[in-house]
Chains A and B, each alone.
Chain A
């Protein structure tokens, strides 16, 4: 069956360290993958998009990698801060070029001082 998996357990890290979140998928061949941030009680906010022909994408302290062989995307936050504490969702388009997205269940990140 098709599915997207993110670590359901919360990730707790110390301020200043690099947080790495994982998104694995099976039985999809997405043209791109997106990452969103969601704060409690609010809607998700788009962070980054990475295409299948891109190995890596960066935006300020954020870095995303996309390995279509492993069917995996990694999301890194360097020099993490308590304000980075949130749930991070990955999403992919299951049917190329339709704009529909399938979301993972998200990983909750907690950065403590």
Chain B
């Protein structure tokens, strides 16, 4: 079974802190994604990557950056956390850039910024 793991289930940070969210997948997937999920707004794509060192902006990239140095690991970075970044963050991966691939999600990190 594909396994996508995220470094923390719950995280509490203070405004202005630099925050790192880590995601690891163990099935050699090429695509990796970071979403945030908020009530009433659903899942929104922040960034995605279809290869090592490749990244593309999603719908809401402002205030975030990403890093993909190894195929299995995709990191989301909040350069200076703000209260409006309090959310559930979900990482996902999928097999290859060929369309119609299902996405496998991690358990999520609930981030609170005080």
Contact = CB atoms under 8 A, between A and B. Distances in A.
B100 interface: yes
B59 to A, nearest CB: 8
B104 interface: yes
B31 to A, nearest CB: 5
A100 B102 contact: no
Of A44, A89, A99, which is in contact with the most chain B CB atoms at under 10 Å from its CB? A99
Interface in A26-67: 31-32, 34, 41-46, 49, 51
A97 B98 contact: yes
Nearest to A95: B99
Contacts of B94: 99
B83 to A, nearest CB: 21
A97 B99 contact: yes
Contacts of B58: 100
A46 B102 contact: yes
Given A8-B40, A43-B92, A103-B43, A49 B105 contact: no
A20 B110 CA distance: 30
Interface in B28-71: 31, 33, 35, 40-45, 48, 50, 58
Interface string B73-95: 00000000000000000101010
Given A89-B42, A103-B43, A105-B40, A31 B92 contact: no
Given A97-B98, A99-B31, A99-B50, A46 B42 contact: no
Contacts of B44: 103
A68 B110 CA distance: 36
B97 A99 contact: yes
Nearest to B90: A43
Interface in B9-42: 31, 33, 35, 40-42
A97 to B, nearest CB: 4
A101 interface: yes
A8 B42 CA distance: 11
